[in-house]
Homo-oligomer: A and B are copies of this chain.
Amino acid sequence: MDVRTLCLGALMGGEASGYEIRKMFEDGTYSHFQMASLGSIYPALTRLTQDGMVTFVEKEQENRPDKKVYQLTSEGRRSFLRGLLQTRPGEDRYRSDILFMLTFAEELPVELTEALLDEMEARQEIALAQIDPDRKRDDTSCGIYGREENGDLKPGCKFVSGLGEAMYRATLDFIRKNKTALIDDLRARRNNHKSR
């Protein structure tokens, strides 16, 4: 799923600037299962403009740098949905440096392992908190896709964020339940090695 497609998807929720699109992938709607950086978003928007998929208006702002606010054309909207019909979605992929490092827990100082576990727990907590319990309409900003007129989440979005929540909860649960056991195990092993 390339960044151009991702940008089209982001604009399905209404107009947005490049900066705002990045925020959707950084903090917002898509942050839990997709990524795109400014270094790829801006070129993507330029090409999408050339191809007639989006248009933009330059908006002057008070006390802020100017904005280019992008918007889907009807061709862009059609093309995006047609694309989804044809695309074979790529494999889900989870990447975690911390888990990779924990694989070598036996070779590392126990303190580092502890720190890694705490770090991971903290990050998961933050991510879970970001999947709003009920932050219905606090952001006046850009039109984020997924809300009904009455402010409720659309079924697709509800499902996806529910799934995200379930994953974070399961992860947190597992860490909390098994953290001390792992640490104890490592300490015991460390003592065995010394005494031998």
Within 8 A of B (CB), among A159-194: 159-160, 162-164, 166-167, 169-171, 173-175, 178, 182, 185-186, 189
Known: A32-B94, A33-B96, A100-B34. A178 touches B156 (CB 8 A): no
User: Is there contact, CB below 8 Å, between A174 and B162?
Assistant: yes
CB distance from A140 to the nearest CB of B (A): 22
Residues of B within 8 Å of A97, CB to CB, are 1, 87, 89-90, 92
**Interface residues of chain A: helix, strand, loop or mixed (majority):** helix
Residues of B within 8 Å of A157, CB to CB, are 103
User: Is there contact, CB below 8 Å, between A9 and B174?
Assistant: no
Does A155 reach chain B (CB closer than 8 Å)?
Answer: yes
Which size bracket describes the interface of A in this complex? 35 or more
Give me the interface of A with B, judged by CB distance under 8 Å. 1, 6, 9, 12, 29-30, 32-35, 81, 84-85, 87, 89-109, 112-113, 116, 119-120, 123-124, 145-146, 154-157, 159-160, 162-164, 166-167, 169-171, 173-175, 178, 182, 185-186, 189
One of B32, B95, B169 near A34 (C-beta < 8 A): B95
CB distance from A135 to the nearest CB of B (A): 17
CA of A99 to CA of B131, assembled, Å: 15
Most buried by B among A9, A32, A81, A92: A92
Residues of B within 8 Å of A166, CB to CB, are 170-171, 173-174
User: Is there contact, CB below 8 Å, between A98 and B92?
Assistant: yes
User: Is there contact, CB below 8 Å, between B91 and A123?
Assistant: yes
Known: A92-B96, A105-B155. 19 other contacts (CB 8 A): A9-B100, A12-B104, A12-B107, A32-B94, A33-B100, A84-B108, A87-B97, A89-B96, A89-B100, A92-B97, A92-B124, A156-B182, A156-B186, A162-B178, A163-B175, A166-B171, A167-B171, A167-B174, A170-B170
